[in-house]
Chain A
Amino acid sequence: MNPIVIVGSGLAGYNVARELRKLDKEAPLTLISADSAHFYSKPMLSSALGSGKAPEAIAMNTAEQMATQLNATVRAHVHVTAIEPAQHAVHLYQETLRYSKLVLALGADQIRLTIGGNAAERVMTVNDLTDYTQFRAAIAGKATVAVIGGGLIGCEFANDLTSGGFKVSVIDIAPQPLSRLLPPEGAAMLQQKLTALGVDWHLGTSVTAIDGDGDHLRLALANGETIKVDVVLSAVGLRPRITLAQAAGLKTSRGIVVDRNLATSDPDVYALGDCAEVAGLVLPFVMPIMHSARALAATLAGKPTPVSYPAMPVLVKTPACPTIVSPPSAGIDGKWNVTADAEGVKSLYQDAAGKLLGFALNGKATAERAALTPQLPPVLA
């Protein structure tokens, strides 16, 4: 029998394999990875510096260890060049694999903004362990970092780099950090705590040009300011990897379009994680991956299982201001009701009848997560 083939060795790919092995220890399984196929904690990439972890320490298992653990073939450093669903075939460089079922766990790319200047290509992004190793090498012995993007990843890096002794400037087009997740009051607390740590903010503006300036990089901002730093890191958002699926004729939109069983427009090809659009939702977070992996493993083991998402609060790893958010569904009608004191901000997104639809907790208010989460509607019932 042809193996189940999983493309991608991130949390999504490896977790489908782990969950499948809980249900079926023997089904032939092949995992293909474009990188070294180390299993590592991606969330740790934006929190490792402050906790004194070297990039090597983030990897938990090698490809060989994972292959043994999962009773699977793990192919590292292999690129998939094309998929032919009609033939149940995955084309690699000079080789073709046949699959029984195919799982796309391709992840997402960091969005790169178009920026002028003669050094714009020196902007770094961190999307995997390889990027992170390069980033850590680039900042070694340096003092200043500009972070483009004040969202979740940008704020986590700002906190982590500052804790690690760097002087950090954050630039974001929005007037506040975490503009898509926090109401202004919560954002103000986060901003103030990170400022107290040493973070320098340039909000409501953007980077227009980056030019080399001796050993430094000079950023010209739209508001007329300039910043001189050693390294520039961009974290402005993720774009699902859909080109492989698109070229194979699979239905795509923002992500690879899948149904509640995580099946693409071809019934033997599935997708999950940051590359997938499940019932219209692209949710590049840990919890949706865990739920999807469990459901998909059951489906692959022969019991078709639709995925459902409970409320899934997201923890923002900014120790300077602990923050947990459970954003309301897009387009849902309600308003933020905020209570704040010196130690925390509790923001509840409620409808006219007072029903809780989402929340954002900062500082001491994060202690209320456990009590509030059960009151939230499921993300996907």
Chain B
Amino acid sequence: MKKWQCIVCGYTYDEAAGDPEHGIKAGTRWEDIPADWACPECGVAKADFEMVLLAA
């Protein structure tokens, strides 16, 4: 499971946690998130995220 960070606002998408509030189930891999999904914090598109490697 990886973590991805929004380059605009710093929001982290954790694949393990998903984004259930916006219809993304826990465990959803980044590549499986629909392209029209946007950062729940600042609204930027999926393409504007950058990957952050999971430390553990």
A residues with a Cβ closer than 8 A to B are 11, 39, 41, 43-44, 58, 60, 286-287, 290, 312-313, 315, 317, 367, 370
Contact = CB atoms under 8 A, between A and B. Distances in A.
Interface of B: 5-10, 21-22, 41-45, 48, 50
A149 B30 CA distance: 39
B42 A43 contact: yes
A37 B21 CA distance: 35
B2 to A, nearest CB: 17
Q: Return the 8 tightest CB-CB contacts between A and B, nearest first.
A: A41-B10, A44-B10, A43-B9, A286-B42, A286-B8, A41-B9, A290-B44, A287-B43
A88 to B, nearest CB: 31
Contacts of A315: 41-43
Interface centre among B6, B7, B21, B44 (most CB of A within 10 A): B7
Interface centre among B5, B7, B10 (most CB of A within 10 A): B10
Given A58-B10, A287-B43, 14 more contacts: A11-B8, A39-B7, A41-B6, A41-B7, A41-B10, A43-B9, A60-B7, A286-B8, A286-B9, A286-B42, A290-B48, A313-B43, A315-B43, A367-B21
B41 A290 contact: no
A59 to B, nearest CB: 11
Contacts of A43: 8-10, 42
A290 B22 contact: no
Contacts of A44: 9-10
B10 A286 contact: no
A312 B8 contact: no
Contacts of B10: 41, 43-44, 58
Nearest to B9: A43
A290 B8 CA distance: 9
A292 to B, nearest CB: 13
A342 to B, nearest CB: 20
Nearest to B47: A22
A315 B8 CA distance: 13
13 contacts: A11-B8, A41-B9, A41-B10, A43-B8, A43-B10, A43-B42, A58-B10, A60-B50, A286-B8, A287-B44, A313-B43, A315-B41, A317-B41
